[in-house]
Amino acid sequence: MSRRLRLLIAAIGIAALAWLLLATLERGLALAQRYMALPEALRWLLGAVLALLLAGGVAVGAWWLRPRKPRAPVAAPDRPSLEGRLAALRDAGADTEELRSELGELDRRRLGGRLYIAVFGEISTGKSTLIGALVPGAAVRSDARGGTTRDVAHYEGTAPDGTAWAIADVPGTAEADGDARERMAREEALRAHAVVYVCAGDLTRTQGEELRWLGDFGKPLVLAVNKADQWDDAERERITRHLRASSGGVPDAVVMLSAGGEERFTRRLADGSTEDVRRQRKPEVGGLLDALARLVAPGAASLEPARENAVLAGLHDRTAAVEQAQRAADAERIVTRYARRAIVGAMAAVAPGTDLVIQGALAAGLVRALADLYGVRVTDVEVEALLGQVRMTFRTGTSVVLAVAGNALKAFPGLGTLGGGVLHAFAYALVFDSLGKALAATLAERHQLDQAAAGERLRDLLGDTRGNRLRQLAELTSDALRDR
């Protein structure tokens, strides 16, 4: 565009602005004159309404611009309570070795005083290449194929201010069948003082969730957009602006970088022939180094409480998973114990219907034992109400139970040799197994005796003959009857 044309456009713009200002002023004066001409009472009323609107506007503006409190980091249990839970699990025979060694690692790093940084992100975003650029001489393996890094490895480097830091390369997330490796990567991200989240463009939904998960721990977090060499300056600017807006202040810094990596292209030579060239791209990681240096400037000791909080929060989740598995195994043992008693009870009936009396007491015992295991308090009335509903279910489902039991007798001929009444005994095994499993699942999920939810599960389980369930029940029946 020529200079003269630009001047003309600028002059037109200024004239339009001046005209707009004058028109606004004129309109304002006209309104003021009309306002002054109004009767005094109306003037006061209108004035009050305007003042209210203005005050409302100012209040909304002040609320909008208020300084936001930083989000409180994820709450973690204190260490003694966690150790208590681990001790209880170990006493109950659960394997807590890995969880204990996590606590050991927490102490080891704290006493070592070294600064730890984790480079985290999806596969193939260039994490290993970045570590190669940050730590000269680091023997990292990078490849265009996703899932190259299979383990956590630390590389000793030096921050721009000369302090030593250890940078962790971890497996990438979002790899098909890479759940175990992803878990490993997440655990290392929790163990670090600061995390670099690497992506290679705008964030996908999953990446956004990962970033928020990291942000929730309140540790220094940099969003590093790698492979910037693919974009021109305008695109880099647009992506950075967009990421700053869409990441909602979760990362402490958003930086563009080019970790390097290998580039391949074909070059035409002077004699007209071509040759394939492979060479290393020049890394550009200055922005990331500046951001990291600023964020970890307080030093390892100052960043330790947030790191410890993150590790304990992670350990809390892992401990809860072991506790859940342990309780599920205990529940299964309880269900088997009661199903075995029900089988014996069915065969020991001395008069028609007495088995029902025996089994009613057993069923109440099963409900109480499971509620106790899951720490749910139940009253006699609740137990009776549940059993009443269970009896109704069995009455309407008798034909299903008997059909399943009949099939089991045919499928496992050994049962038939145990004599009369086995059909009846097997039916009770099925009933108690279904009731116990339905109740255990409901208690684990809802932490209360939810009659409706348990009833629904029970109806499903009564006719469920998948897997080797019938075989297990057949074995239980014959074992119980032989040991009688």
397 binds ligand GTP (CB under 6 A): no
Nearest to 114 by CA among 160, 152, 163: 163
Per-residue contact string for residues 154-173; x = within reach of ligand GTP by CB under 6 A: -----------------xx-
334 binds ligand GTP (CB under 6 A): no
| Binder among 96, 124, 125, 149 for Mg ion (CB under 5 A) | 149
| Binder among 85, 109, 127, 327 for ligand GTP (CB under 6 A) | 127
From 48-56, 146-154, 320-328, 374-382, span contacting ligand GTP (CB under 6 A): 146-154
**What is the C-alpha separation between 222 and 291, in angstroms, rounded?**
7
Unique residue bearing structure tokens 């295991």: 373
314 binds ligand GTP (CB under 6 A): no
Residue length of the chain? 484
65 binds ligand GTP (CB under 6 A): no
Per-residue contact string for residues 113-142; x = within reach of Mg ion by CB under 5 A: --------------xx--------------
Q: Would you say 155 or 374 has its CB closer to ligand GTP?
A: 155
Name the token pair of 390.
């269970």
201 binds ligand GTP (CB under 6 A): no
Unique residue bearing structure tokens 């075989």: 471
Nearest to 474 by CA among 424, 441, 426: 426
Q: Would you say 262 or 372 has its CB closer to ligand GTP?
A: 262
Name the token pair of 441.
């699942």
How big is the site for ligand GTP, counted in residues (CB under 6 A)? 26
**What is the C-alpha separation between 289 and 113, in angstroms, rounded?**
21
226 binds ligand GTP (CB under 6 A): yes
261 binds ligand GTP (CB under 6 A): yes
**What is the C-alpha separation between 346 and 428, in angstroms, rounded?**
7
Q: Would you say 127 or 457 has its CB closer to Mg ion?
A: 127
Q: Would you say 123 or 362 has its CB closer to ligand GTP?
A: 123
243 binds ligand GTP (CB under 6 A): no
Q: Would you say 261 or 436 has its CB closer to ligand GTP?
A: 261
Q: Angle at Cα 210 formed by Cα 209 and Cα 211, nearest 5°?
A: 90
How big is the site for Mg ion, counted in residues (CB under 5 A)? 4
From 69-77, 102-110, 223-231, 303-311, span contacting ligand GTP (CB under 6 A): 223-231
**What is the C-alpha separation between 289 and 294, in angstroms, rounded?**
9
Q: Angle at Cα 30 formed by Cα 26 and Cα 36, nearest 5°?
A: 145
Per-residue contact string for residues 270-289; x = within reach of ligand GTP by CB under 6 A: -----------x--------
Shortest reach from residue 126's CB to ligand GTP, in Å: 3
388-396 contact pairs (CB < 8 A, 24+) = 389/451, 389/455, 390/363, 390/435, 390/455, 390/458, 393/455, 393/458, 393/459, 393/462, 394/431
CA distance between the termini of the chain? 102
144 binds ligand GTP (CB under 6 A): yes
Q: Binding residues for Mg ion, per CB under 5 A?
A: 127-128, 148-149
